[in-house]
Structure formats: structure tokens, C-alpha cells
């Protein structure tokens, strides 16, 4: 019998198989088998359902690398450059900070010196990024310490009494593609909307309806909408959360002034690019927080405030969840399935009860420090991982990348 075990984060719901054992002998990297007692596919470490001998039998000969993201594999990697986009695939030209790709001849990420597989021009082209030597890179421990400080600084988050959830039915990851509504009632039973009068909440909410949700339709910001972006950034920078983030990045020599930091945030989050056929039809903020519709599916949409408001209007129908990572207090994380005005979202992770500036800060931190990679953080002692992707088909400024997406992917025990 399978049971969903509550976890700390959103994406993984471990499956317990009572009284059954099985081996990965002759099964390494086979496809997921829902009838098997345990799994041996490449994603089983993320699902938490590997056989006990998986690591010994199936990973002994593999090089250590970042685990494969579980969520939104098609949509989240669409912005990643294919190897044929590079004039010289054996060079780091235009590839600094990219995610590991086994198909590339050589690599340009922070760990390539460790594995000895960097391109020859890694030092000369990527040294300015601040990680040409592993000793110079921002460490996992530094990230976890900073994320803990950001967590403690989030005084605008919801309190326990502010939100009542009705998470209802939990399903296994293998059932997310069924598109079956297993939850007859809304996800949110109650939200204290006094939260929304706080400056950052109010400024954030004003941004949510500034986009056309369907890709392929160009976005054109009005003067008022541009002013609303500036208002959100200004209010966010007043908070202890964003001051903590800037202080860390300034200390790491990523930004020399707060204005430089704010300008970069505006570009990476609100800059527009072409996700569909139309020019400038998408952007990081729209994708991550507001959500988009592409090829008949919901993409992005990782924000609890947007979910609540759309559910309240009758546009979101909550279907089920695969993991309810409840902590002692907000925020916690939920991995859920839903439809948005008839379009389905197979798996979406979202913080519940966090302030807008908290999510904005964590995603920005990971995008700046670990772009295109899994970013290991810690919140209230709980490990948490965030995946970001860069938009590599266009750039701004001095070749800087826009945010393609950011979302919670896992925790480790």
C-alpha cells in the first residue's frame, strides 16, 4: 500500500512500500514501473522510491552531478541552448554559468575545474564571473546561511491563523498526468486578506494582471505598468528580506551599489523576450508568478497569491497534490495539480504564506549565484532546493541573461 509522507518541500512525495523489497539488479535506469515495489530509473532519488541497492548498483560508475529536475521538464528547458547554437562548442564563448549538459564536448560551470572537463578558454572567458577557482566560488554553506537570514527577516509572511488550507487528496507522482480532479473543494478555505494591504503585497498584486497569459502575443507595457514595476522594486527594497539579499551579494562583489542591483533585478525579471512566435511575449516575472499558457498547457505559475486570487474568481480548479510539506509555520511548500480556466498544470510547486519579497529574494539569489543549476538552501533548518533556468536566446546589458523560470524542486533528508 502506498502512502504519501509529508515532506519539507514541494516536489517530492516519497512513496512507502510496506513489507516489500526489490533489487535494481538488471534494472538500472529502466523506465518507471508503477507495479514495482521500488524503482531504478534516473529520477527515483527525486521521488524517494529507489530500491535499497540503487546507489550501489546504478550510480557507482557515474560522475557526481546535479540531479535532474523533476518539474516541468519540457517547458523549463526550452530556453536552454542546444549545442548547435554555438559557433564553437568546445569554447566557453556565451556559455559561462550554463547548466551541465552531457552532450557538450567541454563545460563552463562552477564545478568543471573540480571534474577536469572545462573548455580551454574557461579561465579567460569566465574568470570574471567569480568562480574560476572553486575556492573563490560562493559555497553551499554560504548560501544556506544567507537563506536562513532571509527566512528570519520575512516579517511580512502570513501567520498560522492567516491561512487555512484544505489540501485533500494526495496522489503519487506517476498519477499527475491523469488530469483527474480528486479534490471537490477549493484549496484555500480562508485567507486573511488584510495581508494584501501591506505595501509589497499590494504592489505585487498590481503586477499580476499586466500580462497576456498566452504566449505568442506580444507584451507592451504602458507607462502605468512600468511605474508599477518600479513601485514593487522600491517597496521590496525597503524590506529586511531584500536588504539581507543585497548585503550578501554586495559583500560577494556581485554589485557595487544598491541601484546597480535594482537595475539588474528589473532587467532580469521584467525584461521581455520571445518565448513564442511573437517578439517580446514573455518574461521571468510573468512566467514564474503570473503563469502562462503555451501549447494548451499551463507553464510557470508558482505563486500562492495568484493561485488564491484566481481560485476565488472561479478560474482555478484545484485537482490534487503530490506533496504537502507543512512546516511549523509559514511559509511551507505544496506541489499540486490544477486547471487554470480549462488548461492543466501537471505539477507546480509553490510556497504557501510567504511574502512576495521572500520568494522574489530566494529566486533572485539562486538565479544570480547558481543560474541554470540546482541551488541548495536552508529555511528554518529544513533543506530546500531551487532550480532556475536562464533564457539563452537573447540577453541584456553586457550579455546578461533573463530569467526563464525559477521554482522549488526538492529537499534532502
Give the separation between CA 230 and CA 221, rounded to whole angstroms.
Answer: 12
CA dist 345 and 303 (Å) reads: 13
> What is the reported pLDDT for 331?
86
For residue 182, what are the CA distances in angstroms to 2, 129, 168, 236? 17, 47, 8, 37
- Cβ pair 143, 375 in contact under 8 A: yes
Q: Which of 104, 294, 332, 345 is catalytic?
A: 345
Our CA angle for 229, 213, 291, nearest 5°, is 75
pLDDT of residue 6: 36
The single residue of 157, 287, 332, 373 carrying the catalytic annotation is 287
Report the distance separating Cα 6 and Cα 334, nearest Å: 10
Largest CA distance in the chain: 63
Residue ranges, the chain, pLDDT below 70: 1-21, 32, 34, 42-48, 59-89, 114-116, 127-136, 278, 324-328, 410-413
Taking phi over 0 as left and psi of -120 to 50 as alpha, with beta for the rest, 309 belongs to alpha
Q: What is the pLDDT of residues 191-207, one digit of tens each?
A: 999 999 999 999 999 99
**Residue of 302, 321, 373, 382 marked catalytic:** 302
pLDDT at residue 359 in the model: 98
pTM of the model: 0.72
**Could you tell me the residue ranges of all domains in the chain?**
81-136, 140-410
Annotated catalytic, 287? yes
pLDDT at 276: 73
**For 55-110, how does the pLDDT look when each residue is reduced to its tens digit (9 = 90+)?**
777 765 443 333 333 344 334 444 433 322 223 467 777 777 777 777 777 888 77
3-state secondary structure of 2: coil
- H runs (alpha helix) in 13-132: 44-47, 54-58, 73-76, 112-115, 122-126
Mark whether 217 is an active-site residue. no
Q: Which CATH number fits domain 81-136: 3.30.70.260, 4.10.410.20, 2.130.10.10, 3.40.50.1100?
A: 4.10.410.20
CA atoms of 317 and 224, how far apart (whole Å): 31
Amino acid at each position: 500500500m502506498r502512502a504519501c509522507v509529508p515532506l519539507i518541500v514541494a516536489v517530492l512525495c516519497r512513496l512507502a512500500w510496506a513489507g516489500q523489497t526489490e533489487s535494481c539488479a538488471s534494472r538500472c535506469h529502466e523506465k518507471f514501473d508503477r507495479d514495482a515495489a521500488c524503482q531504478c530509473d534516473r529520477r527515483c532519488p527525486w521521488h524517494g522510491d529507489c530500491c535499497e541497492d540503487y546507489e550501489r548498483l546504478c550510480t557507482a560508475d557515474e560522475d557526481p552531478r546535479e540531479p535532474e529536475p523533476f518539474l516541468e521538464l519540457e517547458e523549463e528547458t526550452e530556453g536552454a541552448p542546444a549545442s548547435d547554437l554555438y559557433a564553437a562548442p568546445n569554447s566557453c564563448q556565451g556559455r559561462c554559468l550554463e547548466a551541465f549538459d552531457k552532450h557538450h564536448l567541454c563545460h563552463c560551470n562552477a564545478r568543471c575545474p573540480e571534474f577536469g572537463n572545462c573548455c580551454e578558454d574557461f579561465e579567460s572567458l569566465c574568470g570574471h564571473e567569480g568562480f574560476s577557482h572553486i575556492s573563490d566560488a560562493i559555497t553551499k554553506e554560504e548560501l544556506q546561511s544567507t537563506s536562513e537570514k532571509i527566512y528570519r527577516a520575512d516579517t511580512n509572511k502570513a501567520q498560522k491563523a492567516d491561512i487555512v488550507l484544505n489540501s485533500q487528496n494526495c496522489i503519487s507522482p506517476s498519477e499527475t498526468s491523469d488530469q483527474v480532479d480528486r479534490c471537490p473543494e477549493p484549496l484555500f478555505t480562508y485567507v486573511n486578506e488584510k495581508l494584501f494591504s501591506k505595501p509589497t503585497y499590494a504592489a505585487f498584486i498590481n503586477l499580476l494582471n499586466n500580462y497576456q497569459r498566452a504566449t505568442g502575443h506580444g507584451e507592451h507595457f504602458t507607462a502605468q505598468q512600468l511605474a508599477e514595476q518600479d513601485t514593487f522594486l522600491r517597496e521590496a527594497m525597503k524590506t529586511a528580506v531584500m536588504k539581507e539579499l543585497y548585503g550578501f551579494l554586495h559583500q560577494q562583489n556581485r554589485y557595487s551599489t544598491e541601484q546597480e542591483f535594482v537595475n539588474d533585478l528589473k532587467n532580469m525579471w521584467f525584461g521581455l523576450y520571445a518565448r513564442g512566435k511573437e517578439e517580446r511575449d514573455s518574461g521571468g516575472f510573468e512566467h514564474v508568478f503570473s503563469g502562462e499558457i503555451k501549447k494548451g498547457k499551463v507553464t510557470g505559475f508558482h505563486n500562492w497569491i495568484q493561485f488564491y486570487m484566481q481560485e476565488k474568481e472561479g478560474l482555478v480548479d484545484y485537482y490534487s497534490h503530490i506533496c504537502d510539506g507543512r512546516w511549523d509555520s509559514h511559509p511551507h511548500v505544496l506541489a499540486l495539480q490544477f486547471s487554470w480556466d480549462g488548461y492543466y498544470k501537471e505539477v507546480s510547486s509553490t510556497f504557501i504564506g510567504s511574502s512576495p519579497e521572500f520568494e522574489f529574494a530566494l529566486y533572485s539569489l539562486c538565479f544570480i549565484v547558481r543560474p541554470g543549476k540546482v541551488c541548495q538552501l536552508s529555511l528554518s533548518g529544513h533543506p530546500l532546493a531551487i532550480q532556475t533556468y536562464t533564457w539563452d536566446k537573447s540577453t541584456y546589458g553586457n550579455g546578461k541573461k533573463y530569467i526563464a523560470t525559477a521554482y522549488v524542486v526538492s529537499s534532502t533528508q
